[in-house]
Structure 1
């Protein structure tokens, strides 16, 4: 009895197409061996392979001319901020132009859409919706607050010292133009509502959620990324708050628990306090009730907080 030859290294660690198998020298009979699983039409995988979203998306993109990865799948591959109930989704979504036949493949959620060429890109060999188009596609599925959080991350200005880019993925104007091009898309009304609530300056989804909770509680719109010394590039900043009330609000996420970060945060807060500001620090524990306790604390401090004289005299602010 002949020993079965191992799969070529190019096919042994991820799904592959029938054409790739033929190119690697595999016969149809070899593809029927028990170390190969037939996934769907012209798609195979090693029997030992464990599901990995990017690899699945890559091979689906390869075997689906005219189609691209979209919706939740695109958001996950772009590492966009999804709500917890979707953050580990293994759904496989593909879109195609309306004038082409719909993708018909087992386990794939297919969409027929109207999309411009600049709403699709190729990343590491995968045809995929841009982050902005993905945001719009998800408007029908996400809540308004979730959509605002996703949008805030698209328009935020990255910190060059921590990220390999210096420009936002898109702007409010760019997203508004995108929405205007698709007036009949399901979810477009919610997308328009989200645009009205999105702001540049939120570094995380919880910061966006806290800001929205403040607005829902009829608090004044907070400033974002408040520099203690506006003309000093090295100035400590507050995530949000009210300069004219000297109230700084910080949301400290999980990485703030690291000792080095805790020391940095304490120096940051001390700088504000030394300048006469009140500093309120909230964490993930405060998010569990929708920031209701945080809102109560902010309201309590605003009742007695210092106020800039130009505001109290009516010469600044919105009245």
Structure 2
């Protein structure tokens, strides 16, 4: 290993998180490697996680990969870097995003704020602002009653602003998010139809 690729933790020298990601490139499927990378570059919530900065950045990971051009798995690591995005808060969110891209959907925006620039506004995990389609991935903790109430307020705020809200959960992973993607495509068709009607109305008046 090269300098900067190991760290001293509780009396033991271990690989850094970034180097561990690169080493796992020889074993993990591409989507899993992307999910692992997304976690490294994710911006944390300090009040919940006790840290302020991301573990790494895409630029730093590209530099790491460039220093090991002959390492087994380096090609897959480069592929993963092209697919990684800041904003996925969990591996399922990454898998959903990748499934959407595989299905031919446009690249979604991540952590879509209902009102840009307002940190107090609710946000969607993934979404398409122009089409007003919000996609929420609700993991297991969303089943808890306080979180369910918060989620419902969040979704109502989007719906009141004219957005279509699509809820995706753990069960949707069983079919590779196929059913969820059908819902998203249906929402796209609805938004196009509504836009066409609105445009025609505006031209008449």
Classify the TM-score, shorter chain: over 0.9
Corresponding residue to 1:247 among 126, 133, 138:
133
The yes-or-no answer on 1:170 pairing with 2:56 is yes
Q: Which residue of 1 aligns with 2:175?
A: 289
Residues 245 and 308 of structure 1 are in contact (CA less than 8 Å); yes or no, is this contact kept in structure 2?
Answer: no
Deviation at 1:166, TM superposition (A): 0.7
* Counterpart-to-counterpart distance in 2, 1:255 and 1:307: 36
What's the RMSD between the two structures over aligned residues?
Answer: 1.5
The yes-or-no answer on 1:304 pairing with 2:190 is yes
* Counterpart-to-counterpart distance in 2, 1:232 and 1:226: 11
Stretches of structure 2 that go unaligned for 5 or more consecutive residues are 200-205
Helix, strand or coil: the match of 1:118? coil
Q: Which residue of 1 aligns with 2:38?
A: 152
Residues 201 and 224 of structure 1 are in contact (CA less than 8 Å); yes or no, is this contact kept in structure 2?
Answer: yes
Residues 255 and 261 of structure 1 are in contact (CA less than 8 Å); yes or no, is this contact kept in structure 2?
Answer: yes
Deviation at 1:132, TM superposition (A): 0.3
Task: Show CA shifts across 1:47-92 (max 9, x none).
Answer: xxxxxxxxxxxxxxxxxxxxxxxxxxxxxxxxxxxxxxxxxxxxxx
Task: Show CA shifts across 1:279-302 (max 9, x none).
Answer: 000100001111011111111111
Q: Which residue of 1 aligns with 2:96?
A: 210
State the number of aligned residues.
196
Residues 246 and 306 of structure 1 are in contact (CA less than 8 Å); yes or no, is this contact kept in structure 2?
Answer: no
The yes-or-no answer on 1:180 pairing with 2:66 is yes
Return the TM-score normalized by structure 2: 0.93
Stretches of structure 1 that go unaligned for 5 or more consecutive residues are 1-114, 314-319
Greater RCO (Cα-Cα under 8 Å, separation 6 or more)? 2
* Counterpart-to-counterpart distance in 1, 2:52 and 2:193: 35
Q: Which structure has greater helix proportion? A: 2
The yes-or-no answer on 1:132 pairing with 2:18 is yes
Helix, strand or coil: the match of 1:162? helix
Helix, strand or coil: the match of 1:305? helix
Deviation at 1:233, TM superposition (A): 1.0
Deviation at 1:308, TM superposition (A): 11
* Counterpart-to-counterpart distance in 2, 1:123 and 1:263: 40
**Over alpha carbons, which structure has the higher Rg?**
1
Return the TM-score normalized by structure 1: 0.60
Runs of 4+ in 1 over 6 A off after TM superposition: none
Helix, strand or coil: the match of 2:130? helix
